[in-house]
A and B are shown apart, each in its own frame.
Chain A
Amino acid sequence: MTALAVALSLVLSQGYAPQRQGLDPLEAEKEARVMRLGKQLRCAVCQGVSIADSPASMARAQLDKVRELVAEGKSDEQINAYFIERYGEWVLLEPTKGGLNAVLWVGPLALLGVGLLVIVLQSRRRPAALVTAPAEAAPAPSPDDALLAQVRADLEK
């Protein structure tokens, strides 16, 4: 098979970012750590994608850095600290839990808790305590209102 002579004018004239290979993966256990850490770090040039997922060249370079640091025996905290030192907390796809960020983690749970409480309290309340509902403002169904008749029919199911 002959070498592919690139004969495409755009490829030659315009110049594209060449796609390069990353460093060779480390041994399985360490590489799994690289990928796990990579999933948590935001690629500097992409749209909110992690460096483990992004095909961008910058992401590859950043993932290689993670590999390098893992190979040097750095801990997860040290590796995160390396990236935070350069890109700020922005680089963490999973925000920290301290300070104002606590709202992010506690807020939804609080909503869920309060909601459950309300539902349970509602069901505990004696039906007698319920004020009789005021008469509906809707006019009495007239025989010619076909739609209303249909609703009634629907409801009887």
Chain B
Amino acid sequence: MTRVLGPVIALSVIGLLVFVLAKGFGSDPHAVPFMLSGKKATNFKIKRLDTDEDVTLEQFKGQPVVINFWATWCGPCKMEHPVLEDAWRRYERQVVFLGIVFEDTEANTKRFLAENGHTFPQLFDPKSTVPVDYGVSGVPETYFITRDGVIKGKVAAPFSDPRQLDPLIGGILQ
């Protein structure tokens, strides 16, 4: 009896171990869970880089909002910049676009924006409290917020084509 029991237990433990390890392949170990989906977006009050006036989330109440966290030291963010500008042009009248600069210097950001041009407001958050409030886990990250100020979803990767935003913006336009 015990001669059979031992190996059977050992083999089932092996099966379990291999199952658990194999399950691991499906998931990205670097992915950080995102919990704020469907939750009310935290309000903020930070200044616009070009005009120095304070911007709050509340002032856009009733309009869908897209917030992009980015920085000039992040290569993918720089590649994403023209894509977001394109997307903004497509939705100019329907959706508010905001850029929030993450952990960068004002000088670097201003230089980059001057060289590459920009349209929608870019906000500067000197203490990076907004990204923490929003559960950011790296840059670039783009948040989609409904008219009622509820976070509908986020994309934790750069966009390479403005059309990739269509379904997501469609979701917050309703």
Which A residues lie at the B interface, using CB under 8 A? 14-18, 20, 23, 44-45, 57-58, 60-62, 64-65, 68, 84-88, 90
Contact A85 B73 (CB under 8 A): no
* A-chain residues with CB within 8 Å of residue B117 when the two chains form the complex: none
CB contact under 8 A between A18 and B132, given known A64-B127, A87-B33: no
Most B C-beta atoms less than 10 A away, residue of A23, A60, A84, A86: A86
Determine the distance from Cα of A60 to Cα of B131 in the docked complex, in whole angstroms. 12
Which residues 111-153 of B sit at the A interface, judged by CB distance below 8 A?
127-129, 131-138
* A-chain residues with CB within 8 Å of residue B8 when the two chains form the complex: none
Proximity string of chain B (20-52) to chain A, C-beta cutoff 8 Å, 1 when within and 0 when not:
000000000000110110010000000000000
Identify the closest chain A residue to B112 (Cβ): A15
Identify the closest chain B residue to A20 (Cβ): B103
Determine the distance from Cα of A47 to Cα of B82 in the docked complex, in whole angstroms. 31
Determine the distance from Cα of A86 to Cα of B32 in the docked complex, in whole angstroms. 10
Contact A87 B103 (CB under 8 A): no
How near does chain A come to B19, taking the closest CB pair, in angstroms?
Answer: 15
* A-chain residues with CB within 8 Å of residue B132 when the two chains form the complex: 61-62, 64-65, 86
Considering only CB atoms and an 8 Å cut-off, how many residues of chain B contact the other chain? 23
* B-chain residues with CB within 8 Å of residue A86 when the two chains form the complex: 35-36, 132-135
CB contact under 8 A between A64 and B32, given known A15-B73, A44-B136, A86-B135: no
Determine the distance from Cα of A14 to Cα of B105 in the docked complex, in whole angstroms. 14
**B35 interface neighbour in A17, A64, A87, Cβ under 8 Å:** A87
A sample of 6 more A-B contacts (CB under 8 A), given A18-B104, A68-B129, A88-B35, is: A18-B103, A44-B137, A84-B35, A85-B39, A86-B134, A87-B35
Determine the distance from Cα of A68 to Cα of B133 in the docked complex, in whole angstroms. 12
Identify the closest chain B residue to A51 (Cβ): B132
Contact B103 A57 (CB under 8 A): yes
A-B contact pairs, 17 of them (CB 8 A): A15-B72, A18-B73, A18-B103, A20-B103, A23-B127, A44-B137, A44-B138, A57-B128, A60-B128, A61-B103, A61-B131, A64-B127, A64-B128, A65-B132, A86-B132, A86-B133, A87-B35
Identify the closest chain B residue to A42 (Cβ): B32
Identify the closest chain B residue to A48 (Cβ): B29
Contact B104 A90 (CB under 8 A): no
* B-chain residues with CB within 8 Å of residue A44 when the two chains form the complex: 32, 135-138
3 nearest A-B residue pairs (beta carbon): A86-B135, A61-B128, A88-B33
* A-chain residues with CB within 8 Å of residue B39 when the two chains form the complex: 85
* B-chain residues with CB within 8 Å of residue A57 when the two chains form the complex: 103, 128
Determine the distance from Cα of A23 to Cα of B129 in the docked complex, in whole angstroms. 11
Determine the distance from Cα of A146 to Cα of B32 in the docked complex, in whole angstroms. 61
Contact B103 A17 (CB under 8 A): yes
Determine the distance from Cα of A65 to Cα of B44 in the docked complex, in whole angstroms. 14
* B-chain residues with CB within 8 Å of residue A62 when the two chains form the complex: 132
